[in-house]
Amino acid sequence: MSPHRVISRFEEHGVDVYDAELTLVHTFPLARTPQTHAYSVARARDRMAWAGEESVTCVDTAGAEVWRFELGPGDGAGDARTDVAFADDDGHVWLYSPDVNGGRGGEDHWIVLDGATGAEVARHALPTAGHGGSHLCLGDGRMLLEVGEGQDGTFCFAAGPGTELTRIDVWVNRVPVDVSPDQRQIMTVDHEQDDVAFHDVTYFAETARIPLSAFGDWEFGTAAVEWTGGFLTAETAIVVVSGEHEETEETWWKHFTVDTRAGSVTGEMPISTIDEYDLTPLGDGTYVITDTDGTVRRM
């Protein structure tokens, strides 16, 4: 079974893209600078869109520009990062533009672009003043967007290329992490990092919730559920819990598997990763990590 996401790594020399066997397909040239906010590789692996402070650019495998969409100049004063994502069928590119903190106006915008030409297809004004956003494809043509407002929490929205914007009011300060490979569940983590929950994709209703205390006997404030992990299979997810050693103040992190239907912890994974966010579940029972020598490994 092939993974349900493109495997890539952002390195100093560019974005390395791999096939399911972890053979390097090619590298998209992209400089790692403060102006490089986010990137997304098409499922066909033939294009990459990357978001900067004032534009989104789509390039081919040689790095040649296919199209560019201008956001307009900002004042550069706010803490704001754009985000970009190809739809599952590569037909559209979704763009979150943090225009309030970016100094471009009184509303943030969520913009849908034609994946082939970069032409604007749809635009949604958002009631947010976000510092950044992140996308998840829902598999039914809709896209999910989470907008973070820092200490003011998060807001989530869903829409299709030709459908109206839906604000997900049943989620209060939840951060979407992953969509299951059968596209029936969404995994979210509480903004305060106190629990992980699972939700129905169609109506976003909660089906299971696992508190931080279920993963270990930690004192309040000494551990947290990280905004990472995801679905190992349709009914098993990986949850990452981190904290600090009391004596050394060094950060530790642990990986756990959970039963997403029963809402229960099934065990701790005996693995090591280079940081809390390195592991990427692929949805087919395997996951990808980066070895200490930089080698990407599928386990």
CATH superfamily name and code, 1-169:
YVTN repeat-like/Quinoprotein amine dehydrogenase (2.130.10.10)
pLDDT at 220: 63
Distance CA 277, CA 9 (A): 12
CB of 79 within 8 A of CB of 101?
yes
pLDDT in tens, 128-162: 999 999 999 998 889 999 999 988 899 999 999 98
Decide if domain 173-299 falls under CATH 2.130.10.10: yes
Please state the domain extents for the chain: 1-169, 173-299
pLDDT at 247 over 50: yes
CB of 175 within 8 A of CB of 227?
yes
pLDDT at 74: 81
**What is the average pLDDT value for the chain, to the nearest integer?**
93
Token pair for 54: 């004032």
Distance CA 241, CA 252 (A): 8
Average pLDDT over residues 86-103: 96
pLDDT at 2 over 60: no
Q: Alpha carbon of 197 to those of 118, 160, 236, 241, 250: distances in Å?
A: 35, 24, 13, 14, 28
- Using left for φ > 0, alpha for ψ between -120 and 50, and beta otherwise, residue 66 falls in alpha
CATH topology identical between 1-169 and 173-299: yes
Q: Which residue has the tokens 């508190």?
A: 211
pLDDT at 3: 55
